[in-house]
Amino acid sequence: MNKLITYIKASIEEMKKVTWPTKKETTNYTILVIVFSLAVALFLGALDFIFSLGLAQIITKY
């Protein structure tokens, strides 16, 4: 039980040392993640579309 209490106290002390992002930083990072995710999704979707067209051409050719 003593180890658990020591762990909790140490965890609380470490959490006091954390520098949390501001609301503006959090908003900016969230927007950045959403934009990056959409860009990757569009890129992969475009590749999928192109490969699908290519595969369809190969299948219909033979």
pLDDT at 1 over 90: no
Of 58, 9, 8, 31, the C-alpha closest to 50 is 58
pLDDT at 62 over 80: no
Please give the Cα distance from 19 to 22 (Å, whole number): 9
Indicate the pTM of the whole model.
Answer: 0.66
pLDDT of residue 25: 97
Q: What type of residue sits at position 30?
A: T
Band (pLDDT 50/70/90 cuts) for residue 45 is very high
Per DSSP, helices labelled H in 1-62 are 2-17, 23-61
